[in-house]
Amino acid sequence: MNKEIEIMDTTLRDGEQMKGVSYSPQEKLTIAKILLEEVKVDRIEIASAKVSKGEEQSVAEIIDWAKKMNCVEKIEILGFVDKTESIDWINNLGGKVMNILSKGSMNHLTNQLRKTKEQHVQDIKETVAYANKKGITCNIYFEDWSQGMINSRDYVYYLLNSLQEESIKRFMLPDTLGILYSSQVSEFIKEILARYPNLHFDFHAHNDYGVATANTLIAVEAGIKGVHCTVNGMGERTGNAPLEEVVVGLHDFLKIKTGIEEKCLFHLSKTVEAFSGQRIAFNKPISGSNVFTQTAGIHADGDKKGNLYVTSLFPERFNRKRQYSLGKLSGKSNLEYNLEEIDIELTKAQKKRVLERIIELGDRKETITTGDLPYIISDVLETPQEKTFKLELCNIVTSMELRPIAVVKLLYKDKGKNKEMQLEESAQGDGGYDAFMNAIGKIAKKINYPLPILLDYTVNIPPGGKTDALVQCTITWGWQNHKTFITKGVNPDQVLAAIEATEKMLNIIAFQKKENKG
């Protein structure tokens, strides 16, 4: 097993083959910068040659930036066995590395290319020679290599025997259809490395059987020198080996040091989620929203008494925090952790009554967040919370030609000065809710009232819901000292659901300020 492993991320090429995903040039550049500057992967594959004008612009912008940063050799582009066309396309944009896509199985060679193995090797050699002439470094994919090893192993070795003396830096072995079991990965790679000890081999896993991460780690154990990943496991069908999982596996299981900055992985995952429009699964290792959340009361109690349910996979490694959910399985420790989050202190008797209500709500399958706690506390302790902010008017106008505009009127009860004020503002925005928030921002400035940062915004409609279905809008807010809280609104109108959630946010902040003073 090698002590150092090259990590190549192909989110911007193979990852973009996921259904419904298409990045703009600016989005590709942003992801490329995070991958190389913050996360610090070794190489990135950013596009396929000759795809479109938009792809050409993306490649040009990334390469221009990479030249300024003196890292253009870390930028790779997929090219084809077409002798000159792919190379000219890459060269004209300033690229320096091409990953040649060759055929790694007789099935693909005969039924797709319809050529002999001798013809294919000759075409590859001519392509490599032309690349060398243009000053472009070549790596080579053996597409469908896994089926090649299973059904036409002699052909795979014919390719390697014929190309091992060529100017090819890396031979890249993809399990294109994700069909290999871990023992096969180990067997095939060990066999190839024994035959060709002086060549550099990469392994490229796909996740069709859900074993891409495991297979990648097995490949490293078998002696592979480089692995390919995508952020969040993005990719065609079931995707590729997720970068964040592979990195943590290398660090924790194989004790291999990489240059990857773990603290930046979550930020990268969320950026790709936002740009791709593909939501990260709640239970996705490392980056899912539930990954560092304890639900059972016994777990929260164990953590409070001695971190009994904490492993080396702790959230701070990824710039995240452990959370303790509220619901029917909650215990006293779950409640105490959440009260600490919102800086509210209760007596032992009060905690007992609040916890009973939380369990009651959980039995009714209601979702309870930290942001709901002030309302539950107010209700349970029979001290009805008089709203500091009450939305009296909200008029939002949208049209095809003009930017949306919102007129907002809030009733503000300033208990410190014992007076009420009606505050009214109007503002434009990029959407109805954005216009509303801009108006709220103006009102907040008038009274010097701090507002949190909107971190996430999701809308849920019941399956099969019609045009009059109730919409639940859930908003995650970032508050002082890196704390977060969630508010929800329910309304048949999506924008009004978001506005309800925002009104709750304003009153939660006011409630916290009152409790802290008290």
Please report the pLDDT score of residue 459 as a whole number.
Answer: 87
Q: Strand pairing of 97-103 and 75-80?
A: parallel
Long-range Cβ contact pairs of 116-124 (< 8 A, separation 24 or more): 117/155, 117/158, 117/159, 120/81, 121/158, 121/159, 121/162, 121/163, 123/81, 123/83, 124/81, 124/100, 124/163, 124/166
Over pLDDT 90: what percentage of the chain? 66
Ranges 221-230, 305-314, 406-415, most confident: 221-230
Q: Could you give phi then psi for residue 486, rounded to 5 degrees?
A: -120, 140
Q: Are the beta carbons of 137 and 128 closer than 8 angstroms?
A: no
- For the domain made up of 389-517, give the CATH fold: Double Stranded RNA Binding Domain (3.30.160)
What is the C-alpha separation between 270 and 275, in angstroms, rounded? 9
Of the candidates 6, 13, 45, 236, the residue annotated as catalytic is 13
Q: Which of 204, 279, 295, 286 is nearest to 8 (CA)?
A: 204
Give the residue, 329 or 356, on which the prediction is more confident. Answer: 356
Please report the pLDDT score of residue 469 as a whole number.
Answer: 64
The pTM of this model reads: 0.74
Q: Which CATH class is domain 6-276?
A: alpha beta
**pLDDT, mean of residues 310-335:** 81
What is the C-alpha separation between 181 and 412, in angstroms, rounded? 64
Please report the pLDDT score of residue 121 as a whole number.
Answer: 98
Taking only the tens place, the pLDDT of each residue in 424-464 is 999 999 999 999 999 999 999 999 888 999 999 988 776 65
Confidence of residue 300 (pLDDT cuts 50, 70, 90): low
Q: Alpha carbon 376 to chain centroid distance?
A: 33
Of the candidates 45, 55, 143, 503, the residue annotated as catalytic is 143
Residue 271: pLDDT above 80? yes
In 236-383 the beta strands, taken as DSSP E runs, fall at: 293-294, 323-324
Q: Which residues are CB-contacts of 515 (< 8 A; sequence separation ≥ 6)?
A: 343, 344, 345
**pLDDT, mean of residues 324-351:** 78
Confidence of residue 516 (pLDDT cuts 50, 70, 90): low
Same fold? 6-276, 389-517: no
DSSP type of residue 465: -
Q: Are the beta carbons of 226 and 200 closer than 8 angstroms?
A: yes
Q: Known catalytic residue: 143?
A: yes
In 106-234 the beta strands, taken as DSSP E runs, fall at: 137-143, 168-174, 201-204, 226-229
What is the number of residues in the chain?
Answer: 518
For the chain, domain boundaries: 6-276, 296-380, 389-517
Please report the pLDDT score of residue 261 as a whole number.
Answer: 96
Residue 384: pLDDT above 50? no
Give the residue, 295 or 178, on which the prediction is more confident. Answer: 178
Q: Known catalytic residue: 85?
A: no
Please report the pLDDT score of residue 490 as a whole number.
Answer: 72
Taking only the tens place, the pLDDT of each residue in 394-432 is 999 998 888 999 999 999 988 767 788 999 999 999 999
Taking only the tens place, the pLDDT of each residue in 396-405 is 999 888 899 9
Helix, strand, coil percentages, rounded to 5, for the chain: 45, 20, 35
What is the residue-averaged pLDDT of the chain? 89
Residue 377: pLDDT above 50? yes
Q: Strand pairing of 293-294 and 323-324?
A: parallel
Q: Strand pairing of 201-204 and 226-229?
A: parallel
Taking only the tens place, the pLDDT of each residue in 16-57 is 999 999 999 999 999 999 999 999 999 999 999 998 888 999
